[in-house]
Amino acid sequence: MRRPLQLRSDAPLTPGGYMSLVASGMGIAALLALAILGLNLATGARFASLLTNLGLWLIIAVGFQVFVGSTGTISFGHPAFVALGAYTGGILTLPPAMQRIALPDLPGWLAGLDPGLWPATIAGGAVAALLALLIGPIVMRLTGIAAGIMTFGLLVIVNEMIRAATPLTRGNATFYGVPRLAGLTEVLVVVVLVVGIALAYKFSRWGLRARSVAQDPVAAEMSGISVVTSRLWAFVLSAFICGIGGALMGFFLTAFSAQSFYVGMVLPMMIMVLLGGMNSVAGALTGAVLLTFWEYVMRLIETGGMGISLPPGLSQLTLGAGLIAILFFRPSGLWGSREFFIAPVGQTRKGDNP
């Protein structure tokens, strides 16, 4: 069979094969990014904010998928990493004049750093990753419901700490004055990079170990794999990506509060990953696209923007119904554990998945 576009869940072992695997996955992400850019141009940038929002969700969904897909464990705590990224990026890039007004009690060593967009974004990811590294050795001992509850506890604790750390975060008040450093293009560049990182990890030996632990921890351990360590790296990488997404979100929104990254963020993250297939990076991307557009269309209908008027709450209602339907008919999501790759035409290996 000659198919240029293949669905596969395996990885070739040779280094060349691995690199081309990651590169072709990134290529498909780049096509998606170009499509979004094209859509933006075609509509005269009327939907730029919707499309940028979509880009941010693509990053966050991929970050969340790295953990959920690799460990088979659901986390309610990931909005905390997004929050840390947003606040870190915001604090670092706030212009000095604005810092004096908005954060008068900011510690001196944090004031006036202004490292620019990319260092600040990476710093946001790094702070989130550091938290994951510190708490991971404890949290990663748990799986299933216990892990879910513990990560929810993490979300609550981080949220409370952000509210309490007034000199850094303005507490309960809105954090404002962040310069608008990121727009659609920057966000989409990061989407492509992040997809590359997620695929490189998934098919690396570390990603493979985490996936084997997710399926059968005892059998993995009997093969010489440390259960906690292999889960921990998935957690740290996932936090890093979510932190980066958070920092960019901050640079795009320019004003946010602790409430922006709380329980309300858990549901969209969860739906995106479950919808597309929680074991697939392509699934996270698909889920983010579907959910973002669905919510937009539903909100349009709710506000009478499409000429029909329906009661508010419809978007949540249809979303819930849609999720139930997906989980009923396709419990492993749209793509299961599959990824899209561009394979040279005619090259189908013996024993490939159909």
Partner 1 sequence: MLELDRVSTGYGRVRALDTVSLTLGAGHTLAVLGPNGAGKSTLLKLVAGLQAPWSGTLKLDGSADLSPLDVTARVHRGIVLCPEGRRIFTTLSVEENLCIGGTALLARPGGAQRMREGLERAYSLFPILAERRHGPGSALSGGQQQMLAIARALMAEPRLLLLDEPSLGLSPVMADEVYATLAALKAEGMTLIVVEEAAGRPLGLADTAMILRNGRTVWRGAAAAARDPDLLQRAYLGDHAA
Task: List residues binding partner 1 (CB under 8 A).
Answer: 8-13, 205, 208-209, 211-212, 215-216, 218-226, 279, 337, 349-353
Helices 144-164 and 78-93, interaxial angle, to 10°? 30
Q: Give the nearest distance from C-beta 314 to partner 1 in angstroms.
A: 37
Q: Give the nearest distance from C-beta 228 to partner 1 in angstroms.
A: 11
Closer to partner 1 by CB, 93 or 337: give it: 337
How far apart are the C-alpha atoms of 109 and 88, rounded to whole Å?
14
Q: Give the nearest distance from C-beta 144 to partner 1 in angstroms.
A: 17
Closer to partner 1 by CB, 10 or 302: give it: 10
DSSP per residue over 221-234, as a string?
HHTT--HHHHHHHH
Closer to partner 1 by CB, 126 or 220: give it: 220
Distance set, CA 70 to CA 236, 282, 339 (Å) = 12, 14, 14
Sign of CA dihedral 129, 131, 137, 140: negative
Closer to partner 1 by CB, 52 or 280: give it: 280
Residue 178 three-state SS: coil
Q: Give the nearest distance from C-beta 280 to partner 1 in angstroms.
A: 12
Q: Give the nearest distance from C-beta 145 to partner 1 in angstroms.
A: 21
Q: Give the nearest distance from C-beta 353 to partner 1 in angstroms.
A: 6
Q: Give the nearest distance from C-beta 208 to partner 1 in angstroms.
A: 6
Query: Does an H or E element contain 246, and which?
Result: helix 227-253
Spatial contact of 85 and 158, defined as CB atoms under 8 Å apart:
no
User: Within 10 A of 345 (CB to CB), how many other CB atoms are there?
Assistant: 10
Closer to partner 1 by CB, 13 or 97: give it: 13
In 72-107, which ranges are continuous DSSP H helix?
78-93, 96-102
How far apart are the C-alpha atoms of 203 and 200, rounded to whole Å?
6
Closer to partner 1 by CB, 125 or 207: give it: 207
How far apart are the C-alpha atoms of 345 and 158, rounded to whole Å?
49
Query: Does an H or E element contain 339, and which?
Result: strand 339-342
Closer to partner 1 by CB, 320 or 344: give it: 344
